[in-house]
Structure 1
Amino acid sequence: MLPRFSVFSGFFIGLPAAIAVLSTSPTMAQGINVPDQAVINAQLAELGSNVPGSVFAMQPFRNRQTLSDADGTTYTLTSLNPHVNSWFVLETTPAGGRSRFVHFENGDPETWEISLIDEDGPALLIEGEGDSFACAPWADGELEEAQASSLPYAPVCDWSLFVRNPVTGNRTTREAVAEFLRENVIFGESIVNLIKGAFFEDAFMVSSEGEDEVEEIDGVELLGTALLDNAPNMRPYMGFELAGTDAGAMTAGAWYEVEESPGIYASVMQPGMIAREVMQSGGANGLDSIERRADVYLVAFDMARFDIGYELGTDHPGIEWSSRPQNRHGQGRGPDGFDTSAPLVRTGMLNPSFVDRVAATFTGGFKRDHGAWRFGDYATFNYGHHYGFMQNGVLLSRLWPNLATMYLTQDGEVDMRTWTEEDTAMLPDLVFARQNGVAIVENGVPGSRVTSWGGGNWSGDADATLRTLRGGACMRTVEGRQFLIYAYFSTATPSAMARTFQAYQCDYAMLLDMNSQEHTYMALYVHDEDGEGEIDVQHLVSGMAEVDPDNGRVPRFISAPDNRDFFYLLRRQ
């Protein structure tokens, strides 16, 4: 049982004791390791303070190395979380000059370790699979060229690292990205093959007994049907090509496999069809006549076939104060004491090394201004409960107790839960986390705040109407097989969402975003089978194609930076 710890000003003053057991790990011979326990304890105390004050203070496992060259310039490389081994910041400070920062992303965190080495001057040491080489991109102009490239991800050091560049979704950036992908992904060899084929000749040679294959299942049969009293044939305006329909007609509540997309299934229903036993189970309000007949589209992913990731938008969610809560500490421009992620760079775009595996994307949660409480008890403590988030093991906004949280751990566990004080002990294992409001369904029943407008921070449309277009997601486990289900509600209240997720027998469900197809966007990506690398983009609803840049010619999140955060699913290799 994990140790408990007390709360001070909404965060945790017992963090070191709670995490000490989990943070220790065998010392690795390469790269930047986690610091010793005394340093971790001190950095956990920074995170657990009333106001951490900087993005670096939010990283309790950070560690760094520093070297100087002959002219006195210092080079400091910080691994923001050696447990995850993904994000690094290089700080270069000339003697008597101003520091400059570069944000690197590891091209393959499971293979490559990154550190500083003195190789006739400071250089990056790239080590992996028994081989290594030194790289000083600041010395030969490679770094300068990468920073001037207009690419959100610019490769350096033989593709072992990407420079994350500040970008906007302007035409110049999109054209640069399109050319880059065309040359290296869409019509060329995949970036993964390029990296692994051109790095070290034998660095990726592996001889093993082989991995366990994913057990083949009939997902349609395993998912079964939703708990409905009425299951007519429906003709939804869904943008997917489905197997087994009757000339496009779908039986309400049934699941259908998406063509050429193994492990992905689609369903449609209306809340008015839900079984009486579900509707009378308590915990939710009655449904009005409009939402009872409003279509709901659902997409299920067999998580045995997919990896999941999370990417922050260039702007949203922010880390500044929301305008809603009045409970502020007065010690900085945000609940954590700062309002910018600099020197970290947010690209709002999928890392190009994942493009040949991407299967789906869907938008994340609320913007920062909407992501905190204005009314009710949650507005009065924890500074209004601003929704927290982490990407690639790097915490940019604290994770607060009481909030619905989707997360991924290093061992591949993806799940949802209501965050608690004890869950902070998971920090060494987390890869990403995204909080958004409170539970819609928890343990199979409506969350305790589903019927409270202010208490649940459910928001509404521009006219403050609770019933509006909404997107949400849930987790469901069937006979040990885990499914992530995304749901698009053409118009619904939280009660209609709760009843729908109950009808589909979800274990836990949460709201994502709302009010427009831009904010509830979802797309699937079908890759051709002839090796040409072309991708067919299929939108859940046809109107979502209009959200893609350049009149739908550029896939959102994949080929162009976006200001909103998103989740992505990658086919396992």
Structure 2
Amino acid sequence: MGFELARRLGVAVGAVGVAAALAAPVFGQGIPAPDAATLDAQWQVYAGDTVPSVVEFSPMRATQEVALADGGTLRLTSLHPGVNRWYLLERRPAEGQGRAESWHFENGDAATWFVSLTGGADPALLIEGAGDARECRPWAGETSDLATAAGSGLPYAPVCGGRLYLRNKVSGSRTNREAVSDFLRKNVVFGDKLVNLIKGTFFEDAFLESAALGGEEDDTGAVVAALGQADLDRRPLMRTAMGLPVEGAPDGMEAGSWYVADGQEGVFASVMQPGLISAEILKARNGANWFDGVEQNADVYLVAFDLGRFDVGYELGTDHPGLEWSSRPQRSGIDWNIPGPDGFARPDPLVRNGMLSPALTPRVVAGIAGGFKRDHGAFRFSDYAGFNRGHHYGFISNGVTFSRMIENLATLYVTVDGEVGMKTWQEADNAMIPRLAYARQNGVSVVERDPGTGASVPGPRVTSWGGGNWSGSAEAQLRTLRSGACLRESGGRKFLIYAYFSSVTPSAMARVFQAYECDYGMLLDMNSPELTYMALYRQNEAGDGLVADHLSRPMAESDPWLDGSRVPRFVTFSDNRDFIYLLRKE
């Protein structure tokens, strides 16, 4: 970052201060921590106008290099030692003796295993943890383990006794199904299923859902005390098409109340329609438009996750979001000479494979489609199109920045110690980068807290189609199927709330999030159930795979068929779209 940038971001100036601020958390076993000068040099590159590759977007990386007997070298890089999940191994031959090779590894147990290189005449990967230390040479032999793993057709191919996975390049939704199925069945509990992607984009009211309203005095079960009730003027019984089974609602769900998701401890569901929101919220002229006759009756489904019980992560799809330029903002000068807004357009030498690691599959509870693809993830109109290179949405996975965090954008982030936050990114927030494991930016805020009153209010660009990059149809029709997320603290607990809006404008999204007392809310994606996908995962009856309970039944149509039944996306087969996932804490 350089000492001047360090000063600007509030980092102590001086070698000891920079190292202390940027090296946290403790690196532990494995590759020795970089010294202050190395960290500073990596930050200078990271903070530059452009960077040459995604590896330079890993400013916390720690590298170790050893010599080979043939004159070549092995270099091992822990891309973020605080996350301890991704490693890059590079073999560089002696000059004139062939081409360099690289392998991207996923740590099979980031809480246990630390990886480094041994020296000497016969170097090896040293994998340490839980009182154990094992050496591994997957590059050795006439047909090496790495060659076998690379040719396996698996998105994650085990090496070194399954302590590491080789991340292979695959085509999202078109990977060798038989190979993946066989591996998961043999190696992962709940594993005998694969996932495909069925595309389709629809606009306006194609997925409008509107429940029949029943008697308001029907008791549909106990209300979840910690979440309370949404601020509504009426609480009719709603018989919706929501796909999640819930407890205590055999005849329907009371609008605005929360119900425990059946069999999913720490997960709660709620339903409502915007037209039920209290008049006190709706009459305020604080940055949201009135509803039309369609969206006031459009069903909204919400799912709340008690973050005290879950870890949150983010994985990129094989293709989306991309790293190239969006076609939306104007470019000039040097921008025409670089392949993407950050200086690169490909993730090489890292591998994006669009699937949850098999090591995490037994803990997975939910998957949520991540957000806009790159071409839509930048501004065409308004002031935001004219600076910050059009405000391309940023994203970070496993401590590696694939696209830079941009100020003014709504950001969901997770730190290396598991804290989940949501905010409008500011320049000073770049000081958080060393501590971030995951982040996804998507547009501007839907709601935020008013600094004066503390009330949840619409974001300042909710009513501006171009100013908020809200998209919709080509005719700027803002009402469509949308998904969003918000954070809320209540009763000493923090909740991540996902919301599925069957046909609404950003104004209706804002009013719904206000009614549920969200602290900060943002848009995720829109226009089809595939792009707004959300499912809870559970073990199937046979005990050999996962099945998905979809928030909205049309979402199931983006799950593929295998052996006569649907199987869930994201968790058992590579997908070309990015996704947010929730794991039960260990």
* TM-score of the pair, normalised by structure 2: 0.87
Q: Residue 462 of structure 1: CA displacement? A: 5.0
Q: Which residue of 2 aligns with 1:373?
A: 379
Q: Which runs of 5+ in 1 are unaligned?
A: 190-217
Q: Residue 331 of structure 1: CA displacement? A: 3.8
Query: 1:16 and 1:60, CA in 2 relative to 1: closer, same or farther beyond 3 A?
Result: farther
- Tell me whether 1:544 sits opposite 2:547 in the alignment: no
Q: Which residue of 2 aligns with 1:128?
A: 129
Between the aligned partners of 2:426 and 2:409, the Cα distance in structure 1 is 8
Secondary structure at 1:108 match in 2: coil
Q: Which residue of 260, 263, 284 corresponds with 1:260?
A: 263
Instruction: Confirm or deny: 8 A CA contact 2:191 2:545 kept in the other structure.
Output: no
Q: Which residue of 1 aligns with 2:209?
A: none
Q: Which residue of 1 aligns with 2:160?
A: 157
* TM-score of the pair, normalised by structure 1: 0.89
Secondary structure at 1:448 match in 2: coil
Between the aligned partners of 1:99 and 1:15, the Cα distance in structure 2 is 37
Query: 1:279 and 1:264, CA in 2 relative to 1: closer, same or farther beyond 3 A?
Result: same
Query: 1:472 and 1:292, CA in 2 relative to 1: closer, same or farther beyond 3 A?
Result: same
Q: Residue 313 of structure 1: CA displacement? A: 0.3
Aligned length: 537
Between the aligned partners of 1:62 and 1:232, the Cα distance in structure 2 is 55
1:464 partner amino acid: A
Between the aligned partners of 2:307 and 2:82, the Cα distance in structure 1 is 23
Secondary structure at 1:330 match in 2: helix
Q: Residue 493 of structure 1: CA displacement? A: 0.6
Q: Which residue of 363, 366, 369 corresponds with 1:360?
A: 366
Q: Residue 357 of structure 1: CA displacement? A: 1.1
Between the aligned partners of 1:151 and 1:521, the Cα distance in structure 2 is 24
Between the aligned partners of 2:358 and 2:448, the Cα distance in structure 1 is 36
Between the aligned partners of 1:436 and 1:5, the Cα distance in structure 2 is 30
Query: 1:306 and 1:26, CA in 2 relative to 1: closer, same or farther beyond 3 A?
Result: closer
Between the aligned partners of 1:460 and 1:5, the Cα distance in structure 2 is 42
Q: Which residue of 1 aligns with 2:452?
A: none
Instruction: Confirm or deny: 8 A CA contact 2:23 2:60 kept in the other structure.
Output: no
**Alpha-carbon displacement from aligned partner over 1:205-246 (angstroms, at most 9, x marks no partner):** xxxxxxxxxxxxx98121111111122111110111111114
The farther-off stretch of 489-498 and 31-40 is: 31-40
1:129 partner amino acid: A
Between the aligned partners of 1:19 and 1:439, the Cα distance in structure 2 is 32
Query: 1:238 and 1:187, CA in 2 relative to 1: closer, same or farther beyond 3 A?
Result: closer
Q: Residue 362 of structure 1: CA displacement? A: 0.7
2:255 partner amino acid: A
Q: Which residue of 517, 533, 542 corresponds with 1:505?
A: 517
1:226 partner amino acid: A
Between the aligned partners of 1:403 and 1:26, the Cα distance in structure 2 is 27
Instruction: Confirm or deny: 8 A CA contact 2:93 2:100 kept in the other structure.
Output: yes
Q: Which residue of 2 aligns with 1:106?
A: 107
Aligned-residue CA RMSD (Å): 2.3
- Tell me whether 1:535 sits opposite 2:538 in the alignment: no
- Structure 1 runs of 4+ with >3 Å offset: 4-7, 12-21, 24-29, 169-172, 186-189
1:554 partner amino acid: V
Q: Which residue of 1 aligns with 2:147?
A: 144
Secondary structure at 2:225 match in 1: helix
Secondary structure at 2:77 match in 1: strand
Between the aligned partners of 1:451 and 1:357, the Cα distance in structure 2 is 40
Q: Which has the higher contact order (CA 8 A, sep 6+)?
A: 2
Q: Which residue of 1 aligns with 2:62?
A: 63
Q: Residue 181 of structure 1: CA displacement? A: 1.2
Q: Residue 173 of structure 1: CA displacement? A: 2.1
Q: Residue 353 of structure 1: CA displacement? A: 1.1
Q: Which residue of 560, 565, 568 corresponds with 2:581?
A: 568
Query: 1:135 and 1:29, CA in 2 relative to 1: closer, same or farther beyond 3 A?
Result: same
Q: Residue 367 of structure 1: CA displacement? A: 0.3
Q: Residue 553 of structure 1: CA displacement? A: 2.5
Q: Residue 535 of structure 1: CA displacement? A: 2.8
Secondary structure at 2:431 match in 1: helix
Instruction: Confirm or deny: 8 A CA contact 1:219 1:263 kept in the other structure.
Output: no
Between the aligned partners of 1:344 and 1:306, the Cα distance in structure 2 is 27
**Alpha-carbon displacement from aligned partner over 1:316-374 (angstroms, at most 9, x marks no partner):** 00110000111453341101111000111001011111111111101001000000111
Query: 1:188 and 1:388, CA in 2 relative to 1: closer, same or farther beyond 3 A?
Result: closer
Q: Which residue of 2 aligns with 1:308?
A: 312
Instruction: Confirm or deny: 8 A CA contact 2:368 2:580 kept in the other structure.
Output: yes
Instruction: Confirm or deny: 8 A CA contact 2:9 2:428 kept in the other structure.
Output: no
- Tell me whether 1:464 sits opposite 2:464 in the alignment: no
Q: Which residue of 2 aligns with 1:322?
A: 326
Between the aligned partners of 1:34 and 1:327, the Cα distance in structure 2 is 40
Query: 1:385 and 1:16, CA in 2 relative to 1: closer, same or farther beyond 3 A?
Result: farther
Between the aligned partners of 2:191 and 2:370, the Cα distance in structure 1 is 31
Q: Residue 130 of structure 1: CA displacement? A: 2.8
Query: 1:219 and 1:484, CA in 2 relative to 1: closer, same or farther beyond 3 A?
Result: farther
Secondary structure at 1:378 match in 2: helix
Query: 1:169 and 1:400, CA in 2 relative to 1: closer, same or farther beyond 3 A?
Result: closer
The farther-off stretch of 352-361 and 74-83 is: 74-83
- Tell me whether 1:336 sits opposite 2:339 in the alignment: no
Between the aligned partners of 2:306 and 2:558, the Cα distance in structure 1 is 27
Query: 1:446 and 1:5, CA in 2 relative to 1: closer, same or farther beyond 3 A?
Result: farther
Instruction: Confirm or deny: 8 A CA contact 1:74 1:94 kept in the other structure.
Output: yes
2:149 partner amino acid: A
Between the aligned partners of 1:467 and 1:322, the Cα distance in structure 2 is 24
Q: Which residue of 2 aligns with 1:241?
A: 245
Identity of aligned residues (%): 57
Q: Which residue of 2 aligns with 1:117?
A: 118
Q: Which residue of 2 aligns with 1:212?
A: none
Secondary structure at 2:360 match in 1: helix
Matches within 5 A, 1:380-391: 380-391=386-397
Q: Residue 396 of structure 1: CA displacement? A: 0.8
Q: Residue 537 of structure 1: CA displacement? A: 1.6
Instruction: Confirm or deny: 8 A CA contact 1:5 1:14 kept in the other structure.
Output: no
Q: Residue 273 of structure 1: CA displacement? A: 0.7
Q: Which residue of 2 aligns with 1:91?
A: 90
Secondary structure at 2:75 match in 1: strand
Instruction: Confirm or deny: 8 A CA contact 1:403 1:437 kept in the other structure.
Output: yes
Q: Which residue of 2 aligns with 1:174?
A: 177
Q: Which residue of 289, 306, 314 corresponds with 1:285?
A: 289
Q: Residue 41 of structure 1: CA displacement? A: 1.2
Query: 1:320 and 1:401, CA in 2 relative to 1: closer, same or farther beyond 3 A?
Result: same
Q: Which residue of 1 aligns with 2:276?
A: 273
Between the aligned partners of 1:387 and 1:5, the Cα distance in structure 2 is 26
Secondary structure at 2:176 match in 1: helix
Query: 1:330 and 1:34, CA in 2 relative to 1: closer, same or farther beyond 3 A?
Result: farther
